[in-house]
Amino acid sequence: MPNISARAAQAPASPIRRLVPLADEAKRRGKKVYHLNIGQPDIPTPEPFLRGIRGAPVEVIAYSPSPGMREAVEAMRAYYAEWGIDLSPDELIITQGGSEAVLFALNVVCDPGDEVLVPEPFYPNYNGFARLAEVEIVPITTHRREGFHLPPREEIERLITPRTRAILFSNPGNPTGVVYTEAEMEMLVEIALEHDLFLVADEVYREFVYQGRHVSVLSFPEIRDRAILVDSISKRLSACGARIGVFASRNPQVMDGARRCAMARLSPPTLEQYGLIAFMADPRHREIVAEMVDEYRRRRAVLCRELGKIPGIVFREPEGAFYVMLGLPVEDAEGFVKFMLTDFPGEETVMLAPGQGFYRTPGLGRDEARIAYVLNVDDLVRACSLLREGLELYQEVEERVRG
Amino acid sequence: MPNISARAAQAPASPIRRLVPLADEAKRRGKKVYHLNIGQPDIPTPEPFLRGIRGAPVEVIAYSPSPGMREAVEAMRAYYAEWGIDLSPDELIITQGGSEAVLFALNVVCDPGDEVLVPEPFYPNYNGFARLAEVEIVPITTHRREGFHLPPREEIERLITPRTRAILFSNPGNPTGVVYTEAEMEMLVEIALEHDLFLVADEVYREFVYQGRHVSVLSFPEIRDRAILVDSISKRLSACGARIGVFASRNPQVMDGARRCAMARLSPPTLEQYGLIAFMADPRHREIVAEMVDEYRRRRAVLCRELGKIPGIVFREPEGAFYVMLGLPVEDAEGFVKFMLTDFPGEETVMLAPGQGFYRTPGLGRDEARIAYVLNVDDLVRACSLLREGLELYQEVEERVRG
């Protein structure tokens, strides 16, 4: 049997992937599993978006232009203009979800072996993109006790080497819920200018801000040439499976590079672009997203209240996105998550994402887990009560094993 | 301004991309352009597929599982079973079009710097995928006078180096229309076994066969461990913009590698998978595709008849797909294509794809062009008559310049 490539063979399976079969098994045994482990929103996709797809005036589902349909690009331009960001039609392309936009960004700014700084904990799929692009991720460690805000400038600067090409960050943050302050963004801008780096901001959660104000990477004229925006409608239109994302930059070379990447894969999905066009043409589109964000704001309040009742759990209220990183009163969060799926008694249980998968630095995050508040308020209350029971039971079992 | 990566900066723009603005310009001047240059079918997407999307029972357009929805995988299994190919559910995944399946294949079988043999002329997007995967394409030159069939075994074997990992080929061929004989496929199988290579077959046009019989790469039990199928519904369902492809192999390591690639980009588009499921559930699905193939058969006959009337054009009847590679009575086919867009008089013109973009070996294909017969019979007749007029005029102009 011929060997597959080293890069494909060595790709790490994320911890969550090891746990998914256990959740499936629990469900086969008839257990209800509250999934707090994935960022898959439960809120219905807005009607105008669905209508745009269902009523798309096409006889042939043809390729769209590689950079997206002209009208889809216009729809996204109109969106950013509403947020005070003016982009020309050449300054953005439609991608197959935010995922592809991240992959394009790494390909455009890095050659194989180059390095990218990424604040950790970070979205684990960045590891997959980095592997595909043969790019090294160098973590900037941030801490729960500081609400995962950035460390001082010198701490970031001492990670920079001649191979560093960019700082990639999600803002608002997944899994941290951090929203970088204007001062933090200014610090990143200064570092980028001084060390000749690109700033790649994943702003997929840009409207999900509950405290503070979101500052886009595209709002700094001094880094017009080095700012890259990665975006997606997946979360704010509750349409993760539509695979509509955005890659934007005011640097024409960067956009040329991105367009070349886009040509290689021919076309983003066509019908979903009609969904986007129809959604943006709806006069209520801003309201619809605002209502969705309000729902997450309510969930966040309930979740934080309920988590606050659980002894030993440590966390700070997330400022944005729809995640919260918890410190758990256990040594091995993955062991606890496993326990909840395999040994926790009763008809219901809860699934979290173990913290380690979000860190690059070995050993970090072992006692942490991420919660995505993508369930309705009643389910969140129930899930928190299961979490509390589970922790009590698990601690008892652990003590018995030790004793 | 910081530099973009060498790989993004050096990516060659294909000749066709240089010509597209000229076609746009011609249309702005009010000219009708018959597009014989792109493989975008004009035949309506089958109703059951569209209905499956429009009626998809979803409130939330959620991520699908990374390897595709279970029912979509089942639909594709049923399809292959109809063609005598039995695959287990673990032996195929749904990809974002055939494009992504090619990219996954290169990533799974090659590390950066490895080589892949590809019969030329070949589908130019392979260049883009190879660049993204940092893989070197080594051409196996084939010739128009031999109908682009493969050269003798020793000619292929002397291209193999210690870094060669696979032979990648499209069968039926784009742009050649070749359908490899059983003997040719057996030769490839023997080479793969003897030199420990993978065979990656792009069978996107597998049903478009007018002469001879298509032999799938998956029909050889002796290369269960080294056969990879790349496929797509784009052409046979006239749904290029649906972005539904397939990656299949019976080698579990290969499938693990492909699944890891798939996880990195989260999910293929969800609604289009409902289209696929609905289409395969329709009892007429085989008939619908067969009717479509019949339409191409008719077009091929008309096209070959009309081309045969044009003095100086050399070609062999294509055995499959919906392309024909022409030898033109000009020195520089790209110059001729440009002439047709910029200088050809009258209200209509025709656009072909210059041959050079399909070759890796410098200088080859200069006097060739590819025609995609994706227009109805009347338009094909008209386009051929424009081609004839254009060639006469161009030859006159060329002589005048020389004289």
Q: Is B21 on the interface with A (CB under 8 A)?
A: no
In sequence order, which residues have a C-beta less than 8 Å from that of residue A323 and are 6 or more positions away?
A39, A173, A174, A175, A176, A177, A370, A371, A372, A373
Flag if B61 and A50 touch (Cβ within 8 Å). Answer: yes
**Which residues of A fall within a CB distance of 8 Å from B13?**
260
At residue B116, the pLDDT reads 98
- How far apart (Å, rounded) are the C-alpha atoms in residues B243 and B258? 17
What's the longest Cα–Cα distance across chain A? 70
The closest CB to that of B241, out of A2, A49, A62, belongs to: A62
DSSP string, B68-109: --HHHHHHHHHHHHHTT----GGGEEEESHHHHHHHHHHHHH
Flag if B45 and A59 touch (Cβ within 8 Å). Answer: yes
The closest CB to that of B112, out of A14, A110, A134, belongs to: A134
**Which residues of A fall within a CB distance of 8 Å from B165?**
2, 5
In sequence order, which residues have a C-beta less than 8 Å from that of residue A40 and are 6 or more positions away?
A240, A372, A374, B62, B63
**Which residues of B fall within a CB distance of 8 Å from A256?**
4, 8
**Which residues of A fall within a CB distance of 8 Å from B243?**
96, 243, 267-269
Flag if A240 and B165 touch (Cβ within 8 Å). Answer: no
- Average pLDDT over chain B reads 94
Q: Is B255 on the interface with A (CB under 8 A)?
A: no
Helix, strand, or coil here: A362?
coil
- How far apart (Å, rounded) are the C-alpha atoms in residues A385 and A380? 9
The closest CB to that of A271, out of B13, B53, B58, belongs to: B53
**Which residues of A fall within a CB distance of 8 Å from B197?**
2
At residue B12, the pLDDT reads 62
Of B14 and B154, more confident: B154
Gap from A272 CA to chain B (nearest CA, Å) = 9
Q: Is B5 on the interface with A (CB under 8 A)?
A: yes
**Which residues of B fall within a CB distance of 8 Å from A96?**
96, 243, 265
At residue A229, the pLDDT reads 98
pLDDT in tens, A148-193: 999 999 999 999 999 999 999 999 999 999 999 999 999 999 999 9
pLDDT in tens, B86-126: 999 999 999 999 999 999 999 999 998 999 999 999 999 89
Q: Is B115 on the interface with A (CB under 8 A)?
A: no
Instruction: Using a pLDDT cut of 70, give the percent of chain B over it.
Output: 99
Flag if A265 and B58 touch (Cβ within 8 Å). Answer: no
Flag if B111 and A253 touch (Cβ within 8 Å). Answer: no
pLDDT in tens, B40-68: 888 999 999 999 999 999 999 999 999 99
pLDDT in tens, B298-325: 999 999 999 999 999 999 999 999 999 9
In sequence order, which residues have a C-beta less than 8 Å from that of residue B1 and are 6 or more positions away?
A225, A226, A251, A253
Mean pLDDT of the B169-173 span: 98
pLDDT in tens, B264-287: 888 999 999 999 999 999 999 999
- ipTM for the complex? 0.90
Tens-digit pLDDT profile for chain A (403 aa)? 778 888 888 766 667 778 888 999 999 999 999 999 988 888 999 999 999 999 999 999 999 999 999 999 999 999 999 999 999 999 999 999 999 999 999 999 999 899 999 999 999 989 988 988 889 999 999 999 999 999 999 999 999 999 999 999 999 999 999 999 999 999 999 999 999 999 999 999 999 999 999 999 999 999 999 999 999 999 999 999 999 999 999 999 999 999 988 988 889 999 999 999 999 999 999 999 999 999 999 999 999 999 999 999 999 999 999 999 999 999 999 999 999 999 999 999 999 999 999 999 999 999 999 999 999 999 999 999 999 999 999 999 888 877 6
Q: Is B136 on the interface with A (CB under 8 A)?
A: no
Sheet with B323-327, strands from edge to edge, namely B323-327, B368-372, B353-354
At residue B45, the pLDDT reads 96
CA distances from A55 to A233, A278, B120, B321 (A): 19, 10, 42, 31
Q: Is B64 on the interface with A (CB under 8 A)?
A: yes
In sequence order, which residues have a C-beta less than 8 Å from that of residue B344 and are 6 or more positions away?
B386, B389, B390, B393
Residue A19, token pair as written in the block? 């746990």
At residue B10, the pLDDT reads 75
Flag if B264 and A132 touch (Cβ within 8 Å). Answer: yes
**Which residues of A fall within a CB distance of 8 Å from B103?**
264-265
Q: A231-235, A341-345, B21-25, B332-336: which range is least confident on average?
A: B21-25
pLDDT in tens, B216-245: 999 999 999 999 999 999 999 999 999 999
At residue A131, the pLDDT reads 86
Residue A72, token pair as written in the block? 């889809």
**Which residues of B fall within a CB distance of 8 Å from A41?**
60
**Which residues of A fall within a CB distance of 8 Å from B129?**
264
Helix, strand, or coil here: A391?
helix
Tokens 């081309």, located at residue? B307
Nearest CA in chain A to B267: A241
Flag if B265 and A50 touch (Cβ within 8 Å). Answer: no
At residue A399, the pLDDT reads 84
Terminal CA-CA length for chain A: 49
Gap from A280 CA to chain B (nearest CA, Å) = 17
Q: Torsions phi, psi of B111, nearest 5?
A: -95, 165
Which helix (H) or strand (E) segment holds residue B214: the answer is none
Closest CA to A372 of A34, A139, A46, A101: A34
Flag if B260 and A226 touch (Cβ within 8 Å). Answer: no
Nearest CA in chain B to A242: B269
**Which residues of A fall within a CB distance of 8 Å from B100?**
265
- How far apart (Å, rounded) are the C-alpha atoms in residues A211 and A400? 43
Cβ–Cβ pairs < 8 A, chains A and B = 230
- How far apart (Å, rounded) are the C-alpha atoms in residues A40 and B45? 30
Q: Is A399 on the interface with B (CB under 8 A)?
A: no
Whole-model pTM: value is: 0.92
Domains of chain A: 12-39+286-397 (3.90.1150.10), 47-281 (3.40.640.10)
Which residues of chain B from 82 to 101 reach within 8 Å of chain A, CB to CB? 96-97, 99-100
At residue A13, the pLDDT reads 62
Which residues of chain B from 362 to 381 reach within 8 Å of chain A, CB to CB? none
